Amino acid sequence: MTVSPASWRAWLLSEAPASRLQARLGRATRLGLALGHHPLAVAGVGVLAVLLVVVAIGPWLAPQDPAAQNLDARLLPPGTPGFFLGTDELGRDILSRLLCGARPTLGIVALVAVSVAPLGLVVGSVAGTVGGWIDAVLMRVTDIFLAFPRLILALALVGALGPGLENAVLAIALTSWPPYARLARAETLAVRRSDFIAAARLYGASTPRLVVRHVMPLCLGSVIVRLTLDMAGIILTAAGLGFLGLGAQPPSPEWGAMVSSGRKVLLDHWWVATMPGVAICVVALAFNLLGDGLRDVLDPKDTPTR
């Protein structure tokens, strides 16, 4: 039996879903359709889609070995045959290093994203739901982390743990979760006295069940929007650690480290530092555009009435 696109769409957008799966698919479909009405958000999604392809197959797309040095071809300008974006001070192809450097740079961002958002969501939801001394202790710990600038604290942690990709991820994750905990707690305080929470308590739901099944799903939208908007800052922090030599170590290509090596010849050979800098800016801008669109879609209070 062939299912037509119209019937499939009607099934997804049904106002009376017959199963939890249908309800979740319908909610995701409505989110995608609403996001499609934001051209800048669509542009951000397009850039990130291209970026995911580069992360997946970048090493196979690279025309040269990103670590191969050729001092006879050092500091060639963009447009040179065989070196579309030029070469760096060691004669390495910049385009190849950009394609291969997307993986460690965005690998840091992805690992941080999947760690800080759940951690902050759990801490904030538990603090807001339970209250009392648990709330006070969790929020004071959060305040301690918020008292230090994120980059400075990350530098201190990486300096203590030692340079490397894993330590950079750990340092950024430990310094990035407090805002999500604060946001989740604020959302929890707004709904914890709602009728459906009281009904769940009367039904016999335990506190862990309340947090996981009722409170956290309500906070998830705001946390996702905040995470998307914070991606630019996380990318810049990761690039900053690489710029200082505390992220991925040579000869591994990493955008922040490429900017750091290019600053030595910036005045005479601008492309060495500019190309990875432009890549960082484009990715950060794409996340910001996507975050703005998600904020408008997931938070109807901010959407102007038409």
Question: Are the C-beta atoms of residues 271 and 78 closer than 8 Å to each other?
Answer: yes
Q: Which domain holds residue 294?
A: 103-262+274-301
Question: Are the C-beta atoms of residues 101 and 66 closer than 8 Å to each other?
Answer: yes
With respect to residue 169, please indicate whether it lies within any of the assigned structural domains.
yes
Which pLDDT score is estimated for 172? Answer: 84
Check which CATH number belongs to the domain holding 137 and give it.
1.10.3720.10
With respect to residue 170, please indicate whether it lies within any of the assigned structural domains.
yes
Which pLDDT score is estimated for 181? Answer: 92
What backbone torsions phi and psi does residue 303 show, to the nearest 5 degrees?
A: -90, 125
Please name which of 258, 240, 262, 250 lies closest in space to residue 158, comparing C-alpha atoms: 240
With respect to residue 71, please indicate whether it lies within any of the assigned structural domains.
no
Please name which of 176, 157, 48 lies closest in space to residue 106, comparing C-alpha atoms: 48
The pTM for the full model equals 0.79
Which pLDDT score is estimated for 303? Answer: 42
The three-state DSSP-derived secondary structure of the chain is CCCCHHHHHHHHCCCCCCCHHHHHHHHHHHHHHHHCCCHHHHHHHHHHHHHHHHHHHHHHHCCCCCCCCCHHHCCCCCCECCECCCECCCCCEHHHHHHHHHHHHHHHHHHHHHHHHHHHHHHHHHHHHHCHHHHHHHHHHHHHHHCCCHHHHHHHHHHHHCCCHHHHHHHHHHHHCHHHHHHHHHHHHHHCCCHHHHHHHHHCCCHHHHHHHHHHHHHHHHHHHHHHHHHHHHHHHHHHHHHCCCCCCCCCCCHHHHHHHHHHHCCCCCHHHHHHHHHHHHHHHHHHHHHHHHHHHHCHHHCCCC
Question: Are the C-beta atoms of residues 32 and 48 closer than 8 Å to each other?
Answer: no
Which pLDDT score is estimated for 304? Answer: 42
Question: Are the C-beta atoms of residues 107 and 165 closer than 8 Å to each other?
Answer: yes
Which pLDDT score is estimated for 44? Answer: 87
Structural domain tally of the chain? 1
Tokens 């460690």, residue located: 104
What backbone torsions phi and psi does residue 80 show, to the nearest 5 degrees?
A: -65, 135
Q: Which residues of the chain fall below pLDDT 50?
A: 1, 302-306
Which pLDDT score is estimated for 299? Answer: 64
With respect to residue 283, please indicate whether it lies within any of the assigned structural domains.
yes
- For CA atoms 228, 232, 237, 239, the dihedral sign is positive
Question: Are the C-beta atoms of residues 298 and 226 closer than 8 Å to each other?
Answer: no
With respect to residue 29, please indicate whether it lies within any of the assigned structural domains.
no
With respect to residue 95, please indicate whether it lies within any of the assigned structural domains.
no
Residue type, 150: R
CA distance 33 to 17: 18
Which pLDDT score is estimated for 156? Answer: 84
With respect to residue 291, please indicate whether it lies within any of the assigned structural domains.
yes
Which pLDDT score is estimated for 1? Answer: 45
With respect to residue 241, please indicate whether it lies within any of the assigned structural domains.
yes
Which pLDDT score is estimated for 136? Answer: 92
